[in-house]
Structure 1
Amino acid sequence: MKKTKYFGLILILLLHFCKDQTENSEQNNFIFVKGKNIHLRVQPDQKSKSLGFLQGGNKLEIVSESNDKTKIDEFIGKWIKVKVLSGKLKDNQGFVFSQFTLEKNISPIDLIYKETEITKRNKFLEKLKLDFPEYDEIGLYSFDELINFEIFVNDCKVKRIDTSVGFEQKEELIREFQNLQSNFSEAEFEKMTTCEFLWANYCGGTDILPYPYFSYSNKNSIKQIISSLNIESGDKENCYQTIDNKKYCFHISKTNEKFLIGGLCQMHINQK
């Protein structure tokens, strides 16, 4: 009886293992279409019947692929047999030319954070919108929202290229920040902040995107918070008690070898 029971348990574990292996194999064997109106062909031939158009952002599972290179117009690539996982042609199988897909296991979201020259970055980001109109595997934010956010932040960075922003020493930044209490200047505070200033209600994990300080609508409350700080209570992390026993942290980050304030949040009472 025990042997039968244990055999059944082993069989279940093996089935789960095989299922996990299959799922992992599928997850690690995908490509994304880039561009618009890309043919899904019945055969690996430009003259083969088209099953319809794929759109940038459609996810494809690789069924098989050839190592033989071929030339179509000015493009050199190979034909890949795929199963369509998203978009209007979902569940269809056919062939797509590799020049119209990303590399294996690379998603459009990976490209947003690709290193590009700062002055050319916005043009690069705008092109991503055109290349992947149907990419929707994001979650909280859409692909366009994330790109628009990156463009906004990059604009801030471009404007700062020829300006001296930031402090060589952390202590110098804290000292200048503390001087704001008696002589607050919105412009001076902005110079102390990064282009990705995270303003959260409470310190800890958050899904909020960190925009430049000048873009926030409630900037006047910064002045009120700073004026209420007990400067003598400050610590090396730039956190302060207030006269009404709250605690705020103006977190310091290092960007391009310069110290800047990267965000503001309020500590929970039980946080240390």
Structure 2
Amino acid sequence: MSFTTLGAVHAFDPGALPGPVAAAVWRGVDMMGAVARTVPTGFGALDAQLPGGGWPTQAVTELLLPQALRCEWRLLGPALPALLQEGGRIYLVAPSQPPHAGGLAQLGVPPAQLVWVRAVAPLERLWATEQILQAGPVGAVLAWLPQARPEQIRRLQIHAQSCDAPVFLCRPEGALQQASPAPLRVGVTLGPDWVLQVHIPKRRGSAFEGVLRLEAIPGNLQHMLPPRLGSAAATVQAPLAKELSDVRALGRIAAPATTHRLLAH
């Protein structure tokens, strides 16, 4: 029996490969660039953390939401108008609440470009979503699939690879405990004031362990709110903390008139 001694193992250098081969090599420490078209989210900080700089097409994106909150529209709203150009439509499969045509119109989604698919049973929801993806939709697809299993999401991911529209699966945040073939998973909860707290538990490339705080004031209100209501944390909490500090320094309790003035901020 003979043994061959191997030389020292050197770090792999993709740059040493031929050009086309090196371009196809992805290292896990890098955030993978998008191979398909992406759509800007409307939030610069979020775009900076997504491969390709926006919501991906030809792939499934999971939105993980608290069951008691309905904040998917505040997250997706800024991206919708651009998706409706050239005759695009927003396809809704079994939304948790009936879509409010007036509210969506204020987000830039006219009722004529909204398709609502009513489905109750989990298999009906999956079937309807598959049929839409296979039809090559233009616009965006939103499907509420709280009970989807990993193998079912994998099937949707396969169909989405030939779809040039973003595909969003709205699921409860508890689904994060399960593995998922979706290449992008985004969790969102409501923060104070108009803030959305967003984390990205899964994306192509290196992990993102931080929390993004996105100011998500609806566009129809942004120009109507007075400055002091646009960011309550900066205009209410700071003066309130200062006045309470002054009260403590004086060693007395605020008089009724002062209390009324504080509440009026």
Q: What TM-score bracket applies, with the shorter chain setting the length?
A: under 0.3
State the TM-score, normalized to the length of structure 2: 0.25
Structure (1 or 2) with the greater helix fraction:
2
TM-score normalised over the length of structure 1: 0.25
The structure where strand makes up a greater share of residues is 1
The structure with higher relative contact order (CA 8 Å, sep 6+) is 2
Mark the structure with the bigger radius of gyration.
Answer: 1
